[in-house]
Amino acid sequence: MVTATERHLAEPGLIELFVLTSAEAADPTGAAHALFAERYQRAVDELARLLRFGVDGGTLRADIDCVAVARECIAVSDGLQLQWVISQGALDLVGAVRLHADRIARTVTPDGRGL
């Protein structure tokens, strides 16, 4: 997630476009609604799959809810992007995502270690 955020910052206009269109996608009759619903489902499914891979490999705790963790990570990332846009880039977006990823790592790893 940190690496993806760094890539996104290379094209800040895309972050702004994402924030605007995602707000418009909340309207179920809007053109962007189906696209964003599918995007979120794919993103959650893929991140949950990666988390399950970690569970199966023993690098993540067996009792974690991979779908819930995936949804949280995506929600935090998107919310931080909105805050970055509103702050006109003053928010340390990469640092904030890294902090969240470290907190999540501490809760899902067997030894409680962060990043």
Q: pLDDT digits over 43-82, tens only?
A: 999 999 999 999 999 999 999 999 999 999 999 999 999 9
Q: Is the pLDDT of residue 23 over 90?
A: no
* Amino acid found at 74: I
Q: Quick one: fold of 2-108? A: Tetracycline Repressor; domain 2 (1.10.357)
Average pLDDT on 33-52 reads 95
What is the Cα–Cα distance from 91 to 55, expressed in whole angstroms? 33
Q: Where are the domains of the chain?
A: 2-108
Say if residues 43 and 1 touch (Cβ distance below 8 Å). no
pTM: 0.88
Give the torsion sign (CA, 93, 99, 3, 65): negative
